[in-house]
Amino acid sequence: MPDKTINGVSISVDDDGFMTDHSQWNKELAAALAEEEGISLSDGHWKVIDYILADYAEKGTVPGMRRINKVGGIPTKELYALFPGGPIKKAAKVSGLPKPTSCV
């Protein structure tokens, strides 16, 4: 398992850069992870991250696009605007969660 140092802290990540130990995650780390993806976190981003984290805590998987739309109340267009080039994957990475497994 490769480790990576970010903000002077060492975190465990998988080969695709997804954190493998969520207990190492915090808000400052999220901002740094987002920056690596070329994203600077706004309230809109946090709304997505908060929902994904809450849903992950409940269901144990990263929610798919439709669930984020329907249950999370965040429209598809907004998701793509906030996390350009792969919204769910990027949001999961910034949230310190594993690589999403849903096809939809």
Partner 1 sequence: MSEEPIKKVSIIVSRGSLEGIYPGLIMANGARMEGIEANLFFTFFGLYGVLTKYMNSIKIATVGNPAMRVPDAKGFPLPTWMGSMPGMSAFATHMMNKEMEKIDIPPVGEFIEMISDAGCNIYACKATVDMFHLTDDDFCPQMDRVLTVGEFYELSAGSQIIFT
Rounded Cα distance between 74 and 47, Å, is 8
Least separation in angstroms between residue 57's CB and partner 1 is 18
Q: For residue 68, what are its two tokens?
A: 């984020």
Residue written as token pair 């310190």: 96
Residues 65-84 interacting with partner 1 (rule: CB under 8 A): 65-67, 69, 75-77, 80, 84
Nearer CB in complex with partner 1: 3/77: 77
| Calpha distance 47→31 (Å, rounded) | 14
Which of 46, 64 has the CB closer to partner 1? 64
Residue 4 interacting with partner 1 (CB under 8 A): no
